[in-house]
A and B are shown apart, each in its own frame.
Chain A
Amino acid sequence: MKPEELLYAETHEWVAVSTEGGRKVGTVGITAFAIEQLTDLVHMVLPKVGSKVAAGKEFGEVESVKAVSSLYSPVSGEIVAVNDQLPGRLEKLGDDPYSSGWMIKVALADEADLSKLMNQAAYQKQCASE
Chain B
Amino acid sequence: MSGALNQTPLHAWHAAHGGRMVDFAGWSMPVQYGSIIDEHQATRTAVGLFDVSHMGRLRIDGPGGTTLLDRLLTRKVIGLGPGKIRYSLVCKEDGGILDDVLIYHLREPQGDLYHHLVVNASNREKIVNWFRSQMRPSDEATLVDQTLETAMIAVQGPGALRLLEPLVGADLGGLAYYSGAETSICGHRGLVSRTGYTGEDGCELIVAAAHAVDVWTRVLESGKDQGARAVGLAARDTLRLEAAMPLYGHELNESIDPLTADLAFAVNLSGRDFIGREALLAIQAKPNRPRRVGLELAGRRIPREHYPIIVGGEKVGEVTSGTFSPTLQKSIAMAYVQPQFAEPGTEVAVDIRGSVEPAKVVKLPFYHSRAK
The chain A residues found within 8 Å of chain B, CB to CB, are 39-40, 42-43, 63, 65-66, 68
Contact = CB atoms under 8 A, between A and B. Distances in A.
A68 B357 CA distance: 16
B300 A42 contact: yes
A39 to B, nearest CB: 6
B301 interface: yes
Interface in B308-337: 323-324, 326, 331
Interface string B348-361: 00000100000000
Given A39-B34, A65-B37, A68-B353, 9 more contacts: A39-B32, A40-B35, A40-B324, A42-B300, A42-B302, A43-B299, A43-B301, A65-B324, A68-B302
Contact of B36 (A40, A43, A68): A40
Contacts, number: 34
A43 B238 CA distance: 17
A42 B324 contact: yes
A65 B323 contact: yes
What class of interface size applies to chain B in its complex with A? 10 to 19
28 contacts: A39-B32, A39-B36, A40-B36, A40-B37, A40-B324, A42-B300, A42-B302, A43-B299, A43-B300, A43-B301, A43-B302, A43-B324, A63-B300, A63-B301, A63-B302, A65-B36, A65-B37, A65-B238, A65-B302, A65-B323, A65-B324, A65-B326, A66-B31, A66-B36, A66-B234, A68-B302, A68-B304, A68-B353
B297 to A, nearest CB: 11
Nearest to B40: A65
Given A65-B234, A65-B238, A65-B323, A39 B35 contact: yes
Minimum-distance CB pairs A-B, first 7: A43-B300, A42-B324, A40-B36, A65-B36, A40-B37, A65-B324, A43-B301
Contacts of A43: 299-302, 324
A66 B233 CA distance: 11
A63 B326 CA distance: 14
Contacts of A66: 31, 36, 234
Nearest to B304: A68
Contacts of B234: 65-66
A14 B354 CA distance: 28
A92 B53 CA distance: 35
Contacts of B304: 68
Contacts of B36: 39-40, 65-66
Contacts of B326: 65
- Specify which of A40, A42, A43, A68 lies most central, judged by the most chain B CB atoms within 10 Å of its CB: A40
Contacts of A40: 35-37, 324
Contacts of A63: 300-302
A100 to B, nearest CB: 20
Contacts of B37: 40, 65
Nearest to A67: B304
A45 to B, nearest CB: 8
Contacts of A39: 32, 34-36
Contacts of A42: 300, 302, 324, 331
Contacts of B331: 42
Nearest to A87: B300
A63 B302 CA distance: 8
A84 to B, nearest CB: 15
